[in-house]
Chain A
Amino acid sequence: MSANVRRGVVLVIDDDRDLLEVDRLALEAAGYEVHTATTGREGLALARSLRPDVIVLDIMMETLTEGFDVASALMDDPATRRIPVVMVSAYAQAVRVPDKFRVGQKKPGVGAGPLDGRLALATAYYEKPVSPGRLVQIVDRILTR
């Protein structure tokens, strides 16, 4: 697949530079235009200015749940609320997922298990490690839907 076919713009927000690099290399090779941010603040600013097609968002950055704050701010902003967000987290303990990201779930939200992959309408949640190939698949599926 040629890298100069522009298939869409992906913003990856993660505080680990190597994970950002892996995601960038994989998505670029799949033909996406990739932008990266290492903090929630930077990510939010980029999301507003770039209006990416998909956002890949790490949950645990400076705080345990910084990703949720970012997602929340994205959903509250009319300019970004429709952008699909793929949440990924490497935090092992059950993270309580805020109610606003839950859809049709009766059970208390936790980071893994039944919520995996379908956290909210346009949002997916995955536990790391998400392999580069898998991430490309997830983004592909969201954008062809």
Chain B
Amino acid sequence: MPGRVLVIDDEASIRLACEKVLRAAGYEVEVAADGAEGLERLRPGVFDVALVDLKMPGVDGMEVLRRAREVDPDLVTIVITGYPSYESVVEAVKAGAYDYIPKPFSPDELRTVVGRGYEKHDLERQARLLREERARNLATIAEERGRLLTVINSMADGVMVTDREGRLVLYNPASARWLAPDPLGRPLGEVCGWGELEGLVREVTTTGGLRSLSTDLASDKGAPTFMVTVAPVLAEAEAAQAAAGPGPGGPRPAEAAAGPGGTGPEARRAGREVLGAVLVLRDVTELRRQERERANFMAMVCHEIRVPLSAIAGYLELMLQGVVGQEAWPGLLERCRARAEGLVALIQDMLDLSRMETLVRQVERVAVREVVEESVAMLGPQAERAGVTVRVEAPDAETVVSADRFELGRVVTNLLSNAIKFNRPRGSATVSWRREGDYLVIRVEDTGIGIEPRHLPRLGEEFYRVREEATAGIPGSGLGLSIVRNIARSYHGDLRITSEPGVGTAVEVRLACCPGL
């Protein structure tokens, strides 16, 4: 930011000269023809330097200096004087002037004097900012205690603090659900509805161990699950050193209180005094639910791997032990190959699922047509074997979306693959897409076996497969639609299935991936 200079002089030639020289030197310049106008132009913080003629009609230079100091204390003032007498300069400095420049002056002199003034202004401004910052820091420290309490009170986790004797000294609203009214200063066991906590606190405060303890609150089914972590509150290391010195009756260092459970080695080394315990109570209901979901998923995965492996192992044993004659082997080996392929596809699907959970999406401009054509080409052989004709119909053919190409391709491939697998010979599968506002809608329609209404709500569930006479020979992991559903949801979209048994199925996936126009 260039320096800003205000020139107040009643002589037009001086004003003009100053303006020209200073502008050329890179300053922004404003001029005023007398003291009154100069004071009018002065506003706090606008100018760095003011050049003030001492001798002006009306409001004279001295008066301008005095008033300018009130308006803008940071302003650096330089007086212009035609008669640089000692007295007038001293008076001007008393009135707040920083420097003076005698008339007549050369452009060089003017630049030097103003440059010096500008530097001084800059330094003073920085000094003032530092002073203000320091003042703010002091205020911050003064407020810290209050802030800390505000933070603790705002926490979603319950926080309780006890002293060494297990009396409650601090708690936040989130922990109030466990506490009797007015619990401060009373033993935790007396005021806390969660019985095990008292014992945990006693253990932590007497052993002084740095480790924390966790416990799940065994609660009713459906009730939230809480986990509590209890940690000792330890004195600062310096304070502990002072406390560890001689002095009977002084605070007890942790090392002196080593119980049978053992003091944490870190605490012993540090010799820090245990002041009490801090308890953090966290609602882990959602976490536990996710853990259960994951465990169930793993169990399903194991089942889905074990079944085809059992079949393969069974066929192999029948052959190796000569239970079936060699004339039957080709058929059995073909089944083994099919099941092995199914396993490979299952692993691929699981990798896709895990990729979606862990990888950062790579969004780019994608032409839907390209993605669809790739999928159609890839599934061509499968469609041919099944005797299914694949058609592509697209009202909004040239739609370009912002999406991850891999994910979009997976949606089309999985849907089209289903439309081919669950079709009938000489049937057809039709892929189309259109825009609906910000949504891309991909529709895959088939002339296949259809889906009984009772299965519809569960489609998209991981490993859910329609198990009926008509679907029995059709391979699949039971993950294809759930991958599509997961992708759709991650694009704030959904999966809609309409079907008529014996007639066909139409699946529509909506993805919010069209940038708004």
Contacts and interface: CB of A to CB of B under 8 A. Distances in A.
Please indicate whether A and B come from the same complex rather than being unrelated chains: yes
B472 interface: yes
Contact of B313 (A16, A62, A131): A131
A25 B318 contact: yes
Contacts of B317: 131-133
A18 B303 contact: no
A61 to B, nearest CB: 7
A3 to B, nearest CB: 11
Interface string A116-139: 000000000000111111000000
B302 A92 contact: yes
A131 B318 CA distance: 9
Interface in B306-335: 306-311, 313-315, 317-318, 321, 323-324, 335
A128 B323 contact: no
B397 interface: no
A60 B308 CA distance: 14
B296 interface: yes
Chain B CB count within 10 A is highest, among A17, A92, A93, A133, for A92
A132 B473 CA distance: 22
A39 interface: yes
Contacts of A25: 318, 323-324
Contacts of B473: 17
B306 to A, nearest CB: 4
Nearest to A18: B311
Given A22-B318, A132-B323, A60 B303 contact: yes
B469 interface: yes
A15 B314 CA distance: 16
B472 A93 contact: no
A39 B467 contact: yes
Contacts of B321: 133
A116 B45 CA distance: 88
A128 B303 CA distance: 9
B339 A26 contact: no
Chain B CB count within 10 A is highest, among A22, A38, A92, for A22
A29 B321 CA distance: 11
Nearest to B331: A21
Nearest to B323: A29
Nearest to B466: A62
Nearest to A136: B323
A90 interface: yes
A138 to B, nearest CB: 14
Nearest to B309: A129
Contacts of B295: 93
A18 B469 contact: no
Contacts of A128: 306-307, 310
A135 B3 CA distance: 96
A25 B320 CA distance: 13
B180 interface: no
Contacts of B310: 19, 22, 90, 128-130
B191 to A, nearest CB: 37
Contacts of A19: 307, 310-311, 314
Contacts, number: 78
Nearest to A95: B299
B307 A92 contact: no
Interface in A6-20: 15-19
B467 A38 contact: yes
A15 B467 contact: yes
Nearest to B469: A38
A91 B299 contact: yes
A38 B465 CA distance: 14
Contacts of A133: 317, 321
B313 A18 contact: no
A25 B298 CA distance: 31
A141 B339 CA distance: 31
A26 B303 contact: no
Contacts of A22: 310-311, 314-315, 318
A129 B299 CA distance: 15
A64 B313 CA distance: 23
Contacts of B472: 15, 17, 38
Contacts of A62: 467
Given A21-B335, A26-B318, A92 B306 contact: yes
Given A18-B339, A90-B306, A61 B467 contact: yes
Nearest to A89: B303
A92 B318 contact: no
A132 B306 contact: no
Nearest to A135: B314
A99 to B, nearest CB: 19
Nearest to B328: A25
A56 B468 CA distance: 20
A22 B311 CA distance: 7
Contacts of B467: 15, 38-39, 61-62
A25 B310 CA distance: 14
Contacts of B311: 16, 18-19, 21-22
Interface of B: 295-296, 298-299, 302-303, 306-311, 313-315, 317-318, 321, 323-324, 335, 339, 467-469, 472-473
28 contacts: A16-B307, A16-B311, A18-B308, A18-B315, A18-B339, A21-B315, A22-B315, A25-B324, A26-B318, A29-B318, A38-B469, A39-B467, A39-B468, A61-B467, A90-B306, A90-B307, A91-B299, A91-B302, A92-B299, A93-B296, A93-B298, A93-B302, A128-B307, A129-B314, A131-B313, A132-B314, A132-B317, A133-B321
Given A22-B314, A129-B313, A129-B314, 11 more contacts: A21-B315, A21-B335, A38-B467, A90-B302, A93-B295, A93-B298, A93-B299, A128-B310, A129-B306, A131-B317, A133-B321
What 9 A-B pairs come out closest when comparing CB atoms? A22-B314, A93-B299, A92-B302, A18-B311, A129-B310, A90-B306, A29-B323, A92-B299, A91-B303
